[in-house]
Chains A and B, each alone.
Chain A
Amino acid sequence: MFELFYREVSGSFYSWKGAVWIIAASLIFSTVAYLLLTDKELSLMDQGEMLFTFGEIVVAFGVIMSAASASSTISGEVESGTFESLLLTPLTHRQIAIQKMLSVLTVWIILFLVSIPYLVVIASGTNLSWSAIFYVGVYGTLLVTAVSSFSVAISAKLKSSKSSMMAVLMIVLVLIAPSVFFATSLAKTGFGNGLESINPFSHAVNSLDSVLVDNEQSLMQQVNHLWPVIIFSAACIILFLVYTRRFDMRGEKI
């Protein structure tokens, strides 16, 4: 039943090509954590702010990595000519897509597990360790599920890795850029606040800020940020299920 999933996951970790993603991510995490905790200027930051910065990097990295990886799942098979043989297996079209999506999600879970020691060491001496792990895990998983769902759907629809990767990265950039680059300016205008209120990534970032910087750790205090992200993920999963019901090959239904 999960043959394809196991094959995809082992392809990600048995080869150096697949594993290098995780090693590169851990090197980036190491550099950021080392700078935060050893650079004299950066060390003046409050530990909550350090954790928030690190949590933001983990979630953003997970989203970008899953978008890049998922956007070529179906189109990559079509381009390399292996998709027809995949369709000959007893799996339905939707099962193929679900297993491809789950393999992307597994890479995120490994990435999240790698980030835990860093979160613990940055939160050392505060009461924020568990909250940092929990909220980074929750928001990262929801956003990665959403992004990988629509990326697989776009990949199946466009059937070209180049086009689907460009489309997906553009959507991801639209989601991430307001919070990462213009957060302070946006909060000062009505338009910016409106944009923030409909952007799930902004909700995730603002919630991490509220938990780690303002110490509002209870789940009840984060419900207002949590439900837009859950709705976004649900909408992306519905889109995924609709577009992967049946793959359209060379203009003919298969």
Chain B
Amino acid sequence: MKLFSGIIMTLLFFSILCVMFTLDHSVFAATELPSYQVYDNAVKIDIMSQKQIEGVAGQIIKIDGVITNPTISESIQGIAYISIVDLDNNIPIDLEDWSAQKGIYVSSIAPGKSIPTQWSLRLVQAGSYQVSIIFLKENSTGTGNSDLTRPIASSSVFLKVDPKINLNPGNVLPVAFGTPAALIAIFGTIGYMRGKRSGVYR
């Protein structure tokens, strides 16, 4: 009986610990929320392209955005880059083949001013994608060091890429069969004429 009550007491103790641990995190998150909102208000990113884009694999499209500094006194600087998420497979995609220019460093946006940005995207693979522009604001500490703050994302562009099937463009068959046939004919004729001259063929 003593053993049974001991086990119950131990379980109760760990349950209380677990609840305390969870509560601590939720309280921590709740206190942090207002400061995130302050950062979010420091930069505004608008997508100027269509919200839904349809294309064919191989096509090159442009994504236009405008980064605005809505503050009245502070200049901002940071890195703007594009992010693409594959919605069919639920994974972010490697931009290597999609865009030659992945990110740009924005050295300064004056208070109340905006800068336009543009990304060229080559639609590599068929599928559904979500494209956003991300801005990573850099805060100068005045000591030569800088720390990057929380990234700010634009609204998303939904991209639907249809497959492009390049079956037989320009009709490959005449070239695929014609070139070896023509070479055999040319070398055969050269060989025959040479043989005829030297008396091999009469």
Question: A29 near B179 (CB under 8 angstroms)?
Answer: yes
B148 close to A (CB within 8 Å): no
A131 CB to nearest chain B CB (Å): 16
Q: Which residues of B contact A213 (CB under 8 A)?
A: 97
How far is B57's CA from A37's CA once the two chains are assembled, in angstroms? 16
CB of B180 within 8 A of CB of A30, answer yes
The reply to whether A118 and B194 form a contact with Cβ atoms under 8 Å apart is no
Task: Give every chain B residue within 8 A of A34 (Cβ-Cβ).
Answer: 172-173, 176
- From the candidates B57, B172, B184, name the one contacting A44 in the complex (CB within 8 A): B57
| Contact assessment for A26 and B183 in the assembled complex, using a CB-CB cutoff below 8 Å | yes
B180 touches A26 (CB 8 A): yes
Are A27 and B170 touching (Cβ within 8 A)?
A: no
Q: Could you tell me if B191 and A118 are in contact, using CB atoms closer than 8 angstroms? A: no
Closest to B99 in A: A214
Contact present for B175 and A38 (CB under 8 Å):
no
Check B166 for interface membership: any CB of A closer than 8 A: yes
Q: Contact mask B166-202 → A, CB, 8 Å, 1/0?
A: 1111111101111110011001001100100000000
B163 contacts chain A at the CB level, 8 A cutoff: yes
> Contact string, A14-31, partner B, CB cutoff 8 A, digits 1/0?
111001001100110111
Residue among A16, A23, A38 making CB contact with B180, cutoff 8 Å: A23
* Interface flag for B164 (CB, 8 Å): yes
> Smallest Cβ distance from A26 to chain B, in angstroms?
5
Partner of B169, one of A22, A30, A37, A48: A37
Q: Are B164 and A44 in contact (CB under 8 A)?
A: yes
Known: A27-B180, A33-B175, A121-B171. A46 touches B57 (CB 8 A): yes
Which chain A positions have C-beta within 8 A of B97? 213
Contact of B175 among A15, A44, A46, A118 (CB under 8 A): A118
A23 to B58, CA, bound (A): 33
18 contacts between A and B (CB under 8 A): A13-B190, A14-B194, A31-B176, A33-B176, A34-B172, A34-B176, A37-B166, A37-B168, A37-B169, A37-B172, A43-B165, A44-B163, A44-B164, A44-B165, A46-B57, A47-B166, A117-B175, A121-B175
Instruction: Give the top 9 A-B pairs by smallest Cβ distance, nearest first.
Output: A124-B170, A19-B187, A30-B176, A37-B172, A46-B58, A34-B176, A26-B180, A121-B170, A121-B175
Q: Which residues of A come within 8 Å of B, CB atoms?
A: 13-16, 19, 22-23, 26-27, 29-31, 33-34, 36-38, 40, 43-48, 50, 114, 117-118, 120-122, 124-125, 213-216
